[in-house]
Structure 1
Amino acid sequence: MEPTQAIIADTSKSGGALDLMITGGPVVWLLIVLSIIALTIIIYKLIQFVLLGIGKTEHIERAIQLYRDGNKTEALAAVQGAKDPTSIAVATAIRGNMRPDASDEIVREEVERVASLGIYGLKSQISILDLIGSLSPLLGLLGTVMGMIQAFRAMEAAGRNVDPAILSGGIWAALLTTAAGLIVAIPVVAVSSWFERAIQHTAHRTEDAVTRIFTPDLTHRNENISNEIRAAK
């Protein structure tokens, strides 16, 4: 089949999903593989976040309040067994402060290590999503450029008998890969950004919770201190 006839045949197909993938060529198939990888990672991360209880803070707040009220054992029990990084860091801080042989510096260092390890676990595979979101539009553009080259080569081969439909059909087939790249990239980038924001919130929440374990509550007025201040005046 001549190159011109091949392009016309491609553009005259029924327009089904399989026809579009065949028309798009290897780049579209590669984008399909990347989309499957991205979808697998997204499902895995969603399951991970749900199982770890990311976003749940009630038990953490309760543990902090119990600890500040002097109920250290109950505070530890409130977060014991939870798998999210914030709960693990708070439990480590409470457990460390309950040990008389552990200095404050050592406890803080261990809490920081545990918290960093937990946040790192949440970040795993997110970089792959970022890579897919960045590469997909570029692959689509590459497919478009390659398709345009083939279209113009077909026009050159047709010589004086060139038909405008040949060029329009070739451009349509070439732009298909750009559309496929954007279809893959847009949701992947959106979901990846949501994951990153959730991880940042978890990291900030962990830092806040651990700091509240190591420092006294200065946000509420203590009635005894207020009375002492008034007496001093």
Structure 2
Amino acid sequence: MLSILQAAGWPIIPLLLCSVVALALIIERFLSLRTARVAPPRLVDEVISVTRAALPSQDTITKLSDNSALGMVLAHGLQAATDPRPSEEHVRGALEAAGRQAMYQLERNLNALGTIAAAAPLLGLLGTVIGMIEIFGASGAGPSGSGGNPQELAHGISIALYNTAFGLIVAIPSLIAYRHFRGRVDGFALQMELAAERLVPHLLRVSGPRR
């Protein structure tokens, strides 16, 4: 493998860097987009159950915010409901702002992973083109311009194609991971939206007697 990388030449260095970065991004997103860290399944029911009689204390809201991304969104709604005269627009606005903040965190690094998935084949093709230019330039540089040994020419072309192959090796897993994580983020976004829709009327009922 090391000999192949050495034979492919310097154009393969950017692809090696892309492969390392893509692997790091995939691991980071895999750990960050776990269900327990983003949207625990029973969290909304637990919040509604705990706040059925009255709104929670500030310490409870802070702990909820630190629980997960969904917990942070719900905590902003609870915080808005603790105002002296909360309105539906105010509560919804707080939930929407928190939802945008949560989505920004969930989508972090996804654009970089998508860029690597799109750029890796192009970098591989660039390396192959550079290798072909060097091969044909060297084969035609002799006094007779005969084109050199066909076997050596074929071997040089095969080495140049290593860049394209390596670019695809980097791009395919990156694209699969990007699409997978994008689907998870979209699913989490829908869960947060549905949770906010459930929480708003509940908070207005709980905070209603204080208005």
Match 2:137 to one of 153, 164, 183: 153
For the residue of structure 1 that corresponds to 2:165, the secondary structure is helix
Cα distance in 2 for partners of 1:26, 1:64 equals 59
Alpha carbons of 1:34 and 1:141: their partners in 2 closer, same or farther (altered >3 Å)?
Answer: same
The aligned counterpart of 1:166 is 152
Please report how far the alpha carbon of residue 170 of structure 1 lies from its aligned counterpart in structure 2 after TM superposition.
1.5
Structure showing greater radius of gyration is 1
| Higher relative contact order, structure no. (Cα contacts within 8 Å, ≥ 6 residues apart) | 2
Greater Cα offset, 24-33 or 58-67: 58-67
Whole-Å separation in 2 of the counterparts to 1:104 and 1:148: 66
State the TM-score, normalized to the length of structure 2.
0.82
Aligned-pair identity in percent equals 28
| Alignment partner of 1:54 is 2:38 | yes
The residue number in structure 2 matching 1:109 is 93
Do the aligned partners of 2:128 and 2:164 also contact (CA within 8 Å) in 1? yes
TM-score scaled by structure 1? 0.75
Partner Cα separation in structure 1 for residue 35 and residue 9 of structure 2: 40
Where in structure 2 are there 5+ consecutive unaligned residues?
Answer: 203-211
Determine if the alignment matches structure 1 residue 211 to structure 2 residue 200.
no
Report the alpha carbon displacement of residue 160 of structure 1 after superposing the two structures with TM: 3.1
**Aligned pair in 2 of structure 1 residues 51, 200: CA closer, same or farther (>3 Å)?**
closer
Assess, with a 3 A threshold, how the Cα gap between structure 1 residues 18 and 152 changes in structure 2: closer, same or farther.
same
Q: How does 1:108-127 map to 2 (within 5 A)?
A: 108-127=92-111
**Partner Cα distance (2:183, 2:139) in 1:** 50
Cα RMSD of the aligned pairs, angstroms, is: 2.6
- Structure-1 separation of matches of 2:105 and 2:36: 11
Residues in 1 aligned to 2:195 and 2:174: alpha-carbon distance in whole angstroms? 31
Structure 1 residues 28-37 or 89-98, which shifts more?
89-98
Match of 1:182 among 145, 153, 168: 168
